[in-house]
């Protein structure tokens, strides 16, 4: 059966105390909205519609950056969830299938849960959860396994507020039925809004069926405050760490490793303490990431060893068996098989050939203040410590640079390049200079007394 998604993302989120739309606050390097879109994508929808409101341009841009096929509906006036769905439904004219309504600030609903909602036979299916503290959640009124209505907390009586089965807001129904039920909503409630949840009572009044699919409370976590955002980050990281270890990745101190929403790590890889993954990182099998590394937008191949205290920035590509050591930074650079960059070096906008050795303190001087330039280092080249490679420049295969050199011209294959000032010796001058400096220091002290 065909499926469509409507993701509600119009709210401002005033409790976040932020000018940024709530759904654009990030967990694991991605906006909450993107997490909701990823969750929804698990049911392979034919159509995905995001309903925007506050910060519509920014929300639309974030949605399309993740999925360029997404459709946008705009809710200019926020009059409730039913009104938001009504704004989206015209984009589904002609669609025949089931529609799932999700929320852009509810990032953790599992694929299996959405699958269970689609598999349910009732006309209207609502996702519910047993809350440890029901607080101000809407309550699900059930009897004999059937759902009879959803009551918002502010409209509930004392008996209804004692119910612990709570409403997540996520609803599934056939498109045609959803159109009919939403068209019949009214705003006669405490908030003066069109509640999507009222479609359950309307469906029952029309002789249709409704039921609840339940999930854990953690899946339905909605982010409304900065504290909720921190809780969401904790939940994501705990899940991702467990998933990694189950897939054969060794985490020596799991609680100190932070993953991004899209991190991919192969089995038999070992990750040390205090490693941070930004978006866009892939680590192949049998690699090793030592403590205190920061990785983003990079690819690390099988058998590579990174760190400790290394930083790989976007565009860093490490081939098999590359070694990047402590206090090394790599940006937009390709390191071929077996390259060694032991320590204290920066390689940016560069290509380093297989089994080249980069000495400590090497810098590719890639930026002239306006444009970036590339450095090419041939295979098995040996770059002496403290070499400055002023791009654009090429060091040939098996070539060598002398320590402390500033290389401004191409170095041919098999050549040695030394680009430094000649050392000059002045016998006895050191003692004379120190005596002179001591006299100057003493005279300045007397002037201040």
Provide the 10 A C-beta neighbour count for residue 91.
Answer: 15
281, 264 Cβ separation under 8 angstroms: yes
Helix (H) or strand (E) holding 159: helix 158-161
Do 382 and 357 form a contact (C-beta atoms < 8 A)? Answer: yes
**Could you identify the residue written with the tokens 């498109």?**
175
CA distance 200 to 185: 11
- DSSP class per residue in 169-191: EEEEEEHHHHHHHHHT----STT
Q: Would you say how long the chain is, in residues?
A: 449
* C-beta separation of 273 from 42 below 8 A: no
Q: How far apart are CA 242 and CA 248, in angstroms?
A: 10
At residue 369's C-alpha, the angle toward residues 364 and 374, to 5°, is: 35
- Which helix H or strand E contains 31, and what residues bound it? strand 30-31
The helix (run of H) or strand (run of E) holding residue 299 is: strand 299-300
Active centre residues (catalytic): 343
Dist. CA 362–CA 376, nearest whole Å: 14
Name the DSSP letter for residue 353. Answer: -
């Amino acid at each position: 059966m065909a499926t469509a998604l409507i993701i509600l993302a119009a709210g401002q989120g005033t409790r976040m105390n932020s000018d940024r739309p709530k759904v654009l606050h990030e967990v694991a390097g991605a906006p909450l909205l993107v997490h909701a879109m990823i969750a929804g994508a698990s049911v392979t929808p034919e159509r995905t519609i995001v309903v925007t409101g506050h910060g519509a341009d920014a929300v639309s841009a974030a949605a399309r950056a993740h999925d360029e096929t997404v459709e946008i509906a705009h809710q200019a006036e926020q009059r409730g969830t039913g009104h938001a769905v009504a704004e989206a439904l015209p984009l589904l004219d002609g669609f025949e299938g089931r529609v799932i309504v999700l929320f852009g600030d509810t990032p953790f609903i599992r694929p299996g849960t959405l699958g269970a909602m689609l598999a349910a036979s009732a006309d209207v299916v609502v996702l519910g959860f047993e809350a440890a503290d029901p607080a101000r959640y809407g309550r699900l009124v059930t009897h004999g396994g059937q759902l009879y209505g959803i009551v918002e907390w502010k409209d509930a009586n004392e008996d209804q507020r004692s119910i612990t089965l709570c409403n997540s807001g996520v609803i599934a129904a056939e498109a045609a039925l959803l159109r009919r039920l939403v068209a019949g909503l009214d705003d006669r409630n405490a908030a003066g809004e069109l509640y999507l949840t009222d479609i359950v009572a309307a469906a029952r009044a029309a002789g249709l069926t409704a039921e609840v699919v339940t999930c854990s409370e953690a899946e339905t976590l909605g982010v409304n405050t900065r504290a909720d955002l921190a809780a969401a980050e904790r939940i994501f990281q705990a899940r991702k760490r467990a998933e990694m270890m189950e897939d054969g990745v060794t985490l020596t101190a799991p609680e100190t490793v932070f993953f991004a929403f899209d991190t991919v790590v192969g089995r038999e890889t070992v990750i040390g303490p205090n490693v941070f993954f930004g978006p866009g990182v892939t680590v192949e099998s049998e690699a090793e990431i030592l403590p205190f590394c920061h990785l983003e937008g990079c690819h690390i191949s099988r058998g590579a060893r990174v760190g400790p205290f290394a930083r790989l920035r976007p565009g860093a590509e490490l081939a098999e068996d590359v070694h990047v050591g402590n206090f090394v930074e790599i940006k937009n650079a390709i390191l071929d098989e077996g390259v060694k960059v032991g320590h204290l070096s920066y390689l940016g906008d560069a290509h380093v050939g297989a089994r080249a050795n980069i000495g400590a303190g090497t810098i590719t001087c890639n930026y002239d203040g306006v444009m970036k330039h590339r450095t090419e280092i041939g295979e098995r080249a040996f770059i002496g410590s403290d070499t400055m490679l002023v791009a654009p420049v090429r060091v040939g295969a098996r070539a060598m640079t002398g320590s402390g050199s500033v290389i401004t011209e191409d170095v041919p294959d098999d050549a040695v390049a030394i680009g430094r000032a000649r050392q000059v010796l002045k016998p006895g001058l050191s003692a004379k200079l120190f005596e002179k400096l001591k006299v100057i220091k003493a005279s300045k002290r007397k002037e201040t007394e």
